Amino acid sequence: MSRDFADRLSAIAPSATLAMAAKAAKLRSEGHKVYPFSVGEPDFDTPAHIRDAAKAALDRGATRYTPVTGTPELKAAICTSTEKYRGHKVEPAQIVVSSGAKHALFNLALALYQPGDEVLIPSPFWVSYPEQVRMVGATPVIVPTREQDGFRLRPEVLQDALSPRTKAIILCTPSNPTGAAYSKKDLLPLLEVLRKTDVYIIVDEIYADLVYDGFVHASLPSFASEFRDRTIIVDGVSKTFAMTGWRIGWTITSNSLAKAIDIVQSQSTTNAAAISQAAAVAALNGPRAELEVMRRHFSERRVVMVEGLRSLPGVSCRMPEGAFYAFPDVRGLFGKKHRGVELVTDHDVANWLLDEVHVASVAGEPFGAPGYLRFSYACAECDIREALDNMRNAIARLD
């Protein structure tokens, strides 16, 4: 790191997901077919009615600054959608619209954490959670979960992780990278532990609409009103409506915290893009038929991916409740050799798969889960089947 750069950068790791995507892109530029299981992005187009709304907004002059915390129209749509699909009422003053859910989380880090604070993060975790905490000088405390518990945090483990310095806990449900999700029954014991504290509860619900097999997403404020003043919901349109590039996310918080986030955002991005906000209004207020089609395809691909991974020698995989990720345990491949080179870590396995059969995954270690890989199944089913066949053949060639 250059001596001219801020010291805080020395504590920050680059995104493992984007690093693998860059390696895959290089192979693709060289003319190879790459199986794109590394990036968490729906492969569907943004629905036409949303794109049409953006065009109409452009034509009527939606090219200027908006209020820092979002347009009144988008805030109203978020209020309506939250009540209808998350089961709790919110007011516009509780909402801050940002340039994506990742930006919403970074706003939170700047507004909420400071040196000396600890933030509890169950592992496996999305790679940006601990890095954003470190970036503002606070300390991420990684709290382990177990696959046999469905990668869900146990209350006794949460209790042991708490300290007088604990400022917040971050839950992601459904989870990136595991696809695990918390039901109301799962959340209640955790709330009993947190009831004795003043810890903020940050819940990332960006995948909440992508659940399968009858699983019912439980949004914490819908059944735990006594925690509302310290519950922070992070959400957005990226995953549900195939709108990753539009960059619209938001936080729902107490009024006082929303004002603090307003201050942070007013001195950084000012507002999210006006045209994107108009598109998000159309997404939230419009028909959801295409969402149901996307969810059905994700559910079908999930079964193909997980059952295919389970069929591979040395690999096991849990069936996820939501999102669009499979998270197989590949430790059964450790000790195998490829052209005399031993596979020792999940990074070795991920790089071997990319080099040997052009399957792009992400190693589990950056997610806090060494020995696992993350596979996104947000891609064509035929590619999933073909990649699994190629992986099976590659494993058979290992010594």
Taking alpha carbons only, the member of 69, 83, 7 closest to residue 260 is 69
What pLDDT shows up at residue 369?
Answer: 98
Integer CA distances (angstroms), 327 to 88, 177, 294, in order: 31, 7, 21
Which amino acid belongs to residue 124?
Answer: P
The residues, ordered by sequence, that sit 6+ positions from 233 with a Cβ below 8 Å of its Cβ are: 82, 86, 203, 205, 219, 220, 221, 251, 252, 253
User: What string of H, E and C letters represents the secondary structure of 319-349?
Assistant: CCCECCEECCECHHHCCCEECCEECCCHHHH
What pLDDT shows up at residue 2?
Answer: 58
Sketch out the chain's domains with CATH numbers. Answer: 7-45+290-396 (3.90.1150.10), 62-285 (3.40.640.10)
pLDDT at 1 over 70: no
Going by pLDDT thresholds of 50, 70 and 90, the confidence category of residue 246 is very high
What pLDDT shows up at residue 3?
Answer: 66
Taking alpha carbons only, the member of 95, 76, 98, 74 closest to residue 270 is 98
pLDDT at 198 over 80: yes
| Percent of the chain's residues with pLDDT above 90 | 92
pTM of the model: 0.95
pLDDT at 40 over 90: no
**pLDDT tens digits along 363-390:** 999 999 999 999 999 999 999 999 999 9
Give 380's Cβ-side CA count (13 Å radius): 6
